[in-house]
Amino acid sequence: MQKRILLLLILCSLLTNLPAQGIKWAFEGNSYFDRDSGNIVKVTLPERSKTTLVTAAQLTPAGADAPLPVRDFTFSNDDRHLLIYTNSKRVWRYDTRGDYWVLNLETNKLRQLGKDKPESSLMFAKFSPNGKKVAYVSEHNLYVEDVATGAIQQLTQTKGSRKLIHGTFDWVYEEEFSCRDGFRWSPDSKRIAYWQIDANQIRDFLMINNTDSIYAQTIPVEYPKVGEEPSPYRIGVADVGSGKTTWMNIPGDPRNTYVPRMEWAASEKELMIQQLNRKQNESQLMLCDVRTGSVRTIYTEQDDAWIDLKDDGAYGYWDWLADGNAFLWTSEKDGWRHLYRIARDGGQEILLTPGDYDVISLERVDEIGGYLYFLAAPDNATQAYLYRIRMDGNSQAERLSPAGQKGTHNYAVSPDAQYARHTFSNYYTSPKTEWVTLPRHKSLDAENAIPPVIEPPENNNTEFFQVTTADGVTMDGWMVRPDNFDPSKKYPIVFYVYTEPAGATVRDRWGAGRNRLYQGDMAKDGYIYASLDGRGTPAPKGRAWRKAIYRKIGIVNIRDQAMGAREMFDRWKWIDTSRVAVHGWSGGGSATLNLLFQYPEIYKTGISVAAVANQLTYDNIYQERYMGLPQENREDFINGSPITYAKNLQGNLLYIHGTGDDNVHYQNAEMLINELIKYNKQFQVMPYPNRSHGIREGEGTSKHLATLFTNYLRAHCPPGGVPATP
C-alpha cells in the first residue's frame, strides 16, 4: 500500500504537466485545466463544462493595472496554491527562464518567488509533492523556497557558473538530448535529485557580433566538437532538511559516457538513470540508492549502430507498473520499435506490442483497464493512427482511428483513457479537432464531428507516391504538379530535402507540398514541387531502414535521393531534367550541397541554408551517434562531407547562413567558400549578421530571406511549362 501511495504521488505531480498535445490534465482523469478570457478554468468531460478556478483579478499583483501574462501554470497537489510562469526569455531554443509567482488560493495573496534574484533568471520552478516548497534554478544554482514564509535555501553548495551547471544543462545536452529541466523532487518531498554538468574542459566556440558596436564582440558557447570528450556529469541527491548532497557512485568514465535520463524509481529511496557509452550504442539502466550513493546496473542493451533515448513515456521517462515493480521500455532489438515490460530488477522481460510494425509514440498507459494506447502506421509509413493493445504480451493491436480518415492522427488521451482530444489532417485536409470517447472513437459533439470518411477533392494536384530505385530501395514521396498541367509540356522540378535521422519530410499531413520560403504560388507559377524520404529518415519502417545510414551520412542518403530522382524522371517524362533544383535547411542544407556536388548531372540549381559543410565541425553527441568516433573512422566523416566534393560544382549555388548560428557554426560557410574559391567555382552567398540557426531575428529578416530564395530560384530555374522537344 505504501508503494502504491508513493506511485500515486508521483503521478499526481506529473499529470498536471503532461505535454500530451498541449493538454494539462487534472488528476481525476476526466478534467483538464485551460485558460479562458484571462481566467484559469477546469473543463470536465464529457459535458465540457467549465468551472472558474482562478480569475484574472487574482492574477493581478498589488498595485498593478493588469494581470500577469501567464506563460504556464501548475497547481500544487493539495490545490491550495498556483504556480505562475511569466516574463519568459529564450535560452538557446526555448524560453525556459523567467519569473515565477505563487498564488495562495485560500488567501488570494500573490507573491513573486526569488525576489532577490535577477529578473527572468528562474528556471523550471515546481512544487514539492506536498505543496509546501518550490524548487528552482537561478544562475546555475539550485534553490528551495518555502511557500508559506518565503525563506530561500541554496541547495548546491559549490557555486554554479556558465561552466559548472546545476539543475540544468550545457548547450549540447540541451540541443541533442533535449535535456533542459535538470532536477526532480522525491515523492516524499524530502530530497531533490539533480544533474551537475562540468563544462570547464569544453572549449568555447566564439561567435562574433560585428554589428552592435564599433568594436566586435565575441559570444562564447561551450561547444564540444565531434571527437572531443563530453562534459563530465554527476548526479547528486540533496537532502532538503540538512542541505547535504549525496553523490551517486555511477560506474564508468563521465568524460566518455552520458547520463541523459534520470527519474525517481517509483520510490523515495531509489533513482533510475540511463547511461550511454560515448558511441551511444550501449545503454545501461541503473538503480541508485539515494542514501548511500551505491549504483547497480539492472538492464543492458546494445546495438550495432546507435540506441535511441527513452523519450516517450506517458508520465516521464519511465512508466512504472505494478506498484513500481516493473516499467515500460522501448527497444528496436527485434527489428521494430516495440514496447516491453521489464521487471524492476531487470530479470523478466515481456514484449507487449508484437508484430512487424513500429510504435511511433506511446500516448497513454491504462494499467487499470489493462491497455496501452499508441500511434502506429503498419500499412503506410507517411501516416499515423491510434491503436490499443492489451498488456498481456499475447494480443494483437486494435486500430481505433477511423479507417476512412486516411492521414495523420494525434491524440491527447485522458489519464483514465476514457476520452481524447483528437486532431486529424492530411495533405488535402486542414487540421480538424474534436473530443472523442475511447475506445469507440465517438465524437462528443456530433454536429461538429470530423467526418468518418474524407475523400480527396477532384482535380487535386498533390499526390503521394512511391518509387523503387535501382538499388531496390522503395522511397515515399509527395509531388505537387503545376496548375493547368499539360502532360505534353515539360516543367521544372524543385526538390525539398532533409534526409537525416532528425526528421522526415514525407508525412501525410496538412502542409505537405507547401514551400514557406517561396513568395507566391509554385504550382500557379509552373513548378513541380517534390520531396523524397530515403533510408536513415525516422520513418516507421523498421530498424534496418532507419539505421542503414550509420557511418554513411552524406553517402547512403544522398545516393537514395539521386536514384529516386532518376526513377521519377523515367516515370514522368514531363519533368524537365534541364531545370532541376533542390533546397534544404540544416541537414537538408548539407544534403543540398552534396546532391549538387556529387550528382551535378542531375541537380542544376541548389539553395542551401545553414548547412554542415564539414562534419568535423559539428557537435559530438549528434555526429558521433550516427557516424562513430573520428579517431577511429575519420574517413567516413570526410567522405560524407559536402566540402570534399565542392570541386565538382557545375550548376548554380546560393549559400545562406546566419553568422550568429550557435548550432551549425558560420565557420562551415567560410570553409566551404574557401574550397569553392580554390577551384574557381562561381556561386552566391548570403550571410545574415547575428542571426541564429532559424534566421528569424531582426526586422525584415524573414521577408528578405523569402525574397532572396524566390528571386534566385526564378532566375536560375525558370518556372513554367515548355513544349517537349520532338
Q: Give me the domains of the chain, ranges plus CATH numbers.
A: 155-318 (2.140.10.30), 462-718 (3.40.50.1820)
Instruction: Examine the pLDDT at 244 and tell me if it is beyond 90.
Output: yes
Going from the C-alpha of 196 to that of each of 137, 158, 161, 293, 359, the distances in angstroms are: 12, 10, 11, 15, 33
pLDDT given at position 316: 62
Computed over every residue of the chain, the mean pLDDT equals: 94
pLDDT given at position 725: 79
The grid coordinates of residue 690 equal: 547575428
Instruction: Examine the pLDDT at 56 and tell me if it is beyond 50.
Output: yes
Size of the chain, expressed as the number of residues it contains: 726
Q: Residue 582 and residue 603: Cα distance in Å, rounded?
A: 7
Q: Residue 139 and residue 126: Cα distance in Å, rounded?
A: 17
pLDDT given at position 10: 39
Q: Residue 367 and residue 465: Cα distance in Å, rounded?
A: 40
pLDDT given at position 16: 38
At residue 315 the predicted structure's pLDDT band, cuts being 50, 70 and 90, is low
Closest CA to 553 of 501, 511, 611, 476: 501
Q: Residue 31 and residue 50: Cα distance in Å, rounded?
A: 10
Going through 600-691 in order, the beta strands assigned E by DSSP cover 605-609, 652-658, 684-688
Closest CA to 493 of 563, 427, 562, 582: 582
Q: Residue 387 and residue 396: Cα distance in Å, rounded?
A: 10
Handedness of CA 42, 46, 48, 49 (dihedral sign): negative
Q: Residue 681 and residue 354: Cα distance in Å, rounded?
A: 54
Tell me if 721 sits within 8 A of 491, measured CB to CB.
Answer: yes
Mean pLDDT value of segment 75-81: 94
The grid coordinates of residue 94 equal: 526555448
pLDDT given at position 313: 57
Residue with C-alpha cell 514551400?
Answer: 515
At residue 7 the predicted structure's pLDDT band, cuts being 50, 70 and 90, is very low
Handedness of CA 429, 431, 436, 441 (dihedral sign): positive
Q: Residue 414 and residue 426: Cα distance in Å, rounded?
A: 24
Mean pLDDT value of segment 640-660: 98
- Find the range with the poorest average confidence among 27-31, 96-100, 147-151: 27-31
pLDDT given at position 459: 85
Select the more confidently predicted residue: 90 or 603.
603
Any long-range contacts for 11-19 (C-beta under 8 Å, 24+ apart)? Answer: 11/315, 11/415, 12/77, 12/129, 13/77, 13/126, 13/127, 13/129, 13/185, 13/187, 14/315, 14/316, 15/315, 15/415, 16/74, 16/75, 17/74, 17/126, 18/314, 18/315
Instruction: Examine the pLDDT at 317 and tell me if it is beyond 90.
Output: no
Burial class of 545 by CB neighbour count within 10 A (0 to 12, 13 to 18, 19+): buried
Instruction: Examine the pLDDT at 559 and tell me if it is beyond 90.
Output: yes
The grid coordinates of residue 577 equal: 531534367
Instruction: Examine the pLDDT at 376 and tell me if it is beyond 60.
Output: yes
Q: Residue 390 and residue 110: Cα distance in Å, rounded?
A: 47
Mean pLDDT value of segment 236-257: 97
Instruction: Examine the pLDDT at 551 and tell me if it is beyond 90.
Output: yes
Q: Residue 307 and residue 282: Cα distance in Å, rounded?
A: 7
Q: Are strands 605-609 and 652-658 parallel, antiparallel or unpaired?
A: parallel
Q: Residue 376 and residue 142: Cα distance in Å, rounded?
A: 40
Handedness of CA 246, 250, 256, 257 (dihedral sign): negative
Residue type, 206: L
User: Greatest CA span in the chain, whole angstroms?
Assistant: 87
DSSP 619: B
At residue 94 the predicted structure's pLDDT band, cuts being 50, 70 and 90, is confident
Closest CA to 182 of 172, 190, 170: 170
At residue 312 the predicted structure's pLDDT band, cuts being 50, 70 and 90, is low
Q: What percent of the chain has pLDDT over 70?
A: 96
The grid coordinates of residue 483 equal: 496548375
Handedness of CA 309, 311, 316, 318 (dihedral sign): negative
Q: Residue 99 and residue 72: Cα distance in Å, rounded?
A: 11
Tell me if 708 sits within 8 A of 686, measured CB to CB.
Answer: yes
Instruction: Examine the pLDDT at 270 and tell me if it is beyond 90.
Output: yes
Q: What percent of the chain has pLDDT over 90?
A: 92
- Report the alpha-carbon angle 161-123-187, nearest 5: 110
The pTM (predicted TM-score) of the whole model is 0.94
pLDDT given at position 92: 84
Instruction: Examine the pLDDT at 628 and tell me if it is beyond 80.
Output: yes
Instruction: Examine the pLDDT at 1 and tell me if it is beyond 90.
Output: no
Q: pLDDT tens digits for 110-147? A: 999 998 999 999 999 999 999 999 999 999 999 999 99
At residue 222 the predicted structure's pLDDT band, cuts being 50, 70 and 90, is very high
Tell me if 267 sits within 8 A of 320, measured CB to CB.
Answer: no
Select the more confidently predicted residue: 628 or 1.
628
Q: Residue 543 and residue 630: Cα distance in Å, rounded?
A: 24
